[in-house]
Structure 1
Amino acid sequence: MRRLGKVLHISSMTGHLIVKARTVPRVGEKVYDGELRLVGSVFDIFGPVESPYVAVKPLHSLVKPVKTLFLSEPRRRKK
């Protein structure tokens, strides 16, 4: 698992989780919490190139607040 970053807040308009990213993910990539439960997927990447922010669209409303999010490791293709 790769660490995506820290959740800053939840958007009141859209319900998306706004994350200060440590690595730049791909749009649509699955996002997990610390207990390896699927939280949602990457919806948008915005902000400066040096320190991007990521909007994560959650699958459902979060009952338990999440502080840190993770990405799954990309699968390697066989040749």
Structure 2
Amino acid sequence: MQKLGDVVRTAQGLAVVRTPGEEYPDLGTEVVDEQLDAVGRVVDVFGPVDRPYLAVSPSEDVALASLVGLKLYAR
């Protein structure tokens, strides 16, 4: 598994994840939490090249507000 980073906020129905470095997964990659529960999928990459942000579209059964502060991973 690849660490995506921490959820720093929510915006427009998406979780905003700050990556730890330049590496990030492809769009559409499945995202899981530390318990390996499915959280959503990567839908966009934006921000500075050296440490971009990822927009994660949450799964239907995931409460978006509950993701803030969590560490997320790419499966």
What TM-score does the superposition give when structure 1 sets the normalisation length?
A: 0.80
How far 1:63 sits from its partner (Å)?
Answer: 6.9
- The percent identity for this pair of structures is 36
Match of 2:71 in 1: 68
After the TM superposition, which parts of structure 1 deviate over 6 Å for at least 4 consecutive aligned residues? Answer: none
Residues 1:52 and 2:52 aligned together: yes
1:63–1:25: structure 2 CA closer, same or farther, 3 Å change rule?
Answer: closer
Residue segments in structure 1 that go unaligned for 5+ positions in a row: 73-79
SS of alignment partner, residue 35 of structure 2? coil
How far 1:64 sits from its partner (Å)?
Answer: 7.3
Question: How big is the alpha-carbon RMSD for the aligned residues of Structure 1 and Structure 2?
Answer: 1.6
Higher relative contact order (CA closer than 8 Å, sequence separation 6+): 2
1:63–1:46: structure 2 CA closer, same or farther, 3 Å change rule?
Answer: closer
What TM-score does the superposition give when structure 2 sets the normalisation length?
A: 0.84
Bigger Rg, structure 1 or 2:
1
Q: Hey, which of these two has a bigger chunk of helix by percent? A: 2
